[in-house]
Structure 1
Amino acid sequence: MSKHAVRGGDITGLLARFAQLRTRHRRAPVGTFALVVIQEAGLDGFWIHRILEAEGIESHVVDAASIATSRRRRRAKTDKIDGEALVRALLAYKRGEPRVCAMVRIPSVKEEDHRRIGRERKLLVGERTCLVIRIKGLLFAEGITAYEPLRRDRRHRLEELRTGDGRALPEHLKGQIRRELDRLELVIAQIKEVQAERDALLAIEVAETPAATLLDRVCRHPLRGRAVPALR
């Protein structure tokens, strides 16, 4: 297999390389060939796939975990080895071999954007948990365990806290906890904002589904004068 490196994100260089391959194969006596591309699903998203399809190139995005590998011994993992494995998986997939790999269904731009709401909420909830644990850890070092940072009276209760040996909280510690509470309240506000966007989006999707439309019709036109069989 011939190998050519293209700088990450250089889509112009990638398309130029494909153009060179096309020019070389046009001169071959066996005829022309179609370009087929495979790439792993990852942090790059699907923008490269969309550009390739717009250029008339057949593109596939594969779930890397679905490609079978040897489990007998610890194997080396390099870009060269992974690239060759992808090409072999693509060849087997194009031959029609079953269970070779799992190709990813490419979401639309709108669907991909809608997914970000759930992902952002998950990230914010994780940040909220980390902040709560950090605040409780700071207070635990002073012998305080009965403090819940998520309660609405968290700042009022902070002023009333006493250490395990009966002292008031040190000023610098109290200042640090106040700043942690500032971050926590910001994250809580952002979670509420994201959840409001999610609920509004779900309401629109539910209203547009055929099942919701059918349910709405049934509710507007109830059965009258008919016996409804009971489930037993």
Structure 2
Amino acid sequence: MNTVLQDKDNANSNILYLAFELSAKSWKLGFSNKVKLRQKTIDAGDWNSLLAEIELAKEKLKCTPDCPVFSCYEAGRDGFWIHRALEKENITNYVIDSAAIEVNRRQRQVKSDGVDVKALNRLLIRYCSGDLTAMRPVRVPTIEQEDKRRLQRERGRLIEERGAHSTRIKSLLFLHGIRLANIKDLKTLLPKLKGAVTGYDIPVDTKNELQREDERYVMVDNQVKELEALQKERVTQAQDGSMEKQIEQMMQLKAVGWQTSWYLVAEFFSWRDFKNAKQVGSCAGLTPTPYDSGDSQREQGISKAGNKRVRKVMIEFAWLWLRYQKGSKLSQWFKERFDKGSKRMRRVGIVALARKLLVALWRYLEHGVIPEGAQLTEG
């Protein structure tokens, strides 16, 4: 009886719910008024068709033309431009974390865009009805904040590309028993290179390939240097309250370098507006995930639910902190708890230290609280 009464109340609902299932070629739209579901497919990015389908859905689902519209889609390749465009149309939109969506645990289940958009629509209705655990919206950066992340991301890709060219050059040389102390000397030494032991001339095609690989290596290396110079220039010209000013502030701590500070501030601290330490650790995926059911009690490790790049940087930074900030309270804590343990225990301990350090850095940037016992750089 309660279900029937609830459905009757929902039939008079004057709210339109819209879920998107996005793909490269088409968008699957799922409309609902809590009772009926209407699905339509449009070409990807066809905004006029989307607005027309919204108006038609209001008519078909008996909603008034000025009824509120709530929508959602999964965070992914399309980024946040759809969110900003929907907000401009006075549509309340949520970009949701796909990893936090509830899934059916059956071994085999139906998978299609129609099924997915129907499930998203149900989650959206639950969330808008007050069940805040139904889905997890992500924080949407402004266009300027999103653009601030491009420099270090491009640098990261170029570093990988430069490493690939370097490895390829070394592999080609190893085929002939040649080892170079410095790969940057290849251009000068290439005309004189001889095969190991027998002293034969390097074959023509191999030599030409080495020359082309070296040209690509030099080009990428120069681009990396240009980006790093641009980063330093922006920090030296930083204004109060800017992201670059936070980078400069973080670098005042001993053990914090250019790339660590730039990455953590641009990707993590500058635009997320954390309210407490728990949110900081959770966003980085460094919080514990205990398993406690019946007589079974164990620790499953960290959640890994957040930004994996930040976790990687923080693990590396935690080791640097132990090396350069030996007198800090955090280093002393690690030494007392894990210094005499096995290699495995030290790896467990460094993850715990990374989380504590991340929280300490947040307090330092947000409230100016220097980590206890930490040293600042001179000058």
Q: Report the TM-score when normalising by structure 2.
A: 0.50
Q: 1:32 to 1:207 in 2, by over 3 A?
A: closer
Determine the structure 2 residue equivalent to 1:171: 204
Give the partner amino acid of 1:129.
G
Aligned to 1:80: 114
d(CA) in 2 for partners of 1:203 and 1:22?
54
Shift of 1:148: 4.0
The equivalent of 1:159 in structure 2 is 191
As a proportion of its length, which structure holds more strand? 2
CA distance, structure 1, for counterparts of residue 63 and residue 41 of structure 2: 27
Cα shift at 1:86: 1.4
Distance 1:31 1:194, change over 3 A: closer
- Which whole-Å CA distance do the structure 2 matches of 1:48 and 1:204 have between them? 33
Could you say what the CA RMSD is over the residues aligned between the two structures, in angstroms?
2.7
What does residue 44 of structure 1 align with? 78
- SS of 1:97 mapped into structure 2: coil
Within a 5 Å distance, the mapping from 1:86-97 to structure 2 comes to 86-97=120-131
Which residue matches 1:100?
A: 134
The count of residues paired between Structure 1 and Structure 2 equals: 210
| Alignment gaps of 5+ in structure 1 | 216-230
Q: Distance in 1 between matches of 2:236 and 2:105?
A: 46
Return the letter of the residue paired with 1:162: K
**What is the CA distance between 1:110 and its match in structure 2?**
0.4
Does the aligned pair in 1 maintain the 2:195–2:201 contact within 8 Å?
yes
Query: Percent of aligned positions with the same letter in both sequences?
Result: 33
Letter in 2 for 1:63: D
In 2, the alpha carbon distance for the partners of 1:148 and 1:53 equals 54
Task: Give me the whole-angstrom Cα distance separating, in 2, the residues matched to 1:157 and 1:207.
Answer: 50
Whether 1:11 aligns to 2:47 is yes
Q: Which residue matches 2:377? A: none
Gaps of 5+ in 2: 1-36, 250-372, 374-379
Moved more, 186-195 or 29-38: 29-38
User: How has the CA–CA distance of structure 1 residues 113 and 32 changed in structure 2, closer, same or farther, with 3 Å as cutoff?
Assistant: closer
Pairs within 5 Å for 1:189-200? 189-200=222-233
Higher relative contact order (CA 8 A, sep 6+): 1
Distance 2:165 2:108 in 1: 39
Identify if the C-alpha distance between structure 1 residues 135 and 14 changes in structure 2 by more than 3 Å, giving closer, same or farther.
Answer: same
TM-score (structure 1 length as normaliser): 0.79
Which has the larger Rg?
A: 1
Paired residue for 1:21, among 42, 48, 57?
57
- Classify the secondary structure of the residue corresponding to 2:94: strand
Residues of 2 paired with 1:159 and 1:19: CA distance? 71
**Aligned partner letter, 2:207:** K
Name the CA distance, whole Å, in 2 between partners of 1:2 and 1:29: 13
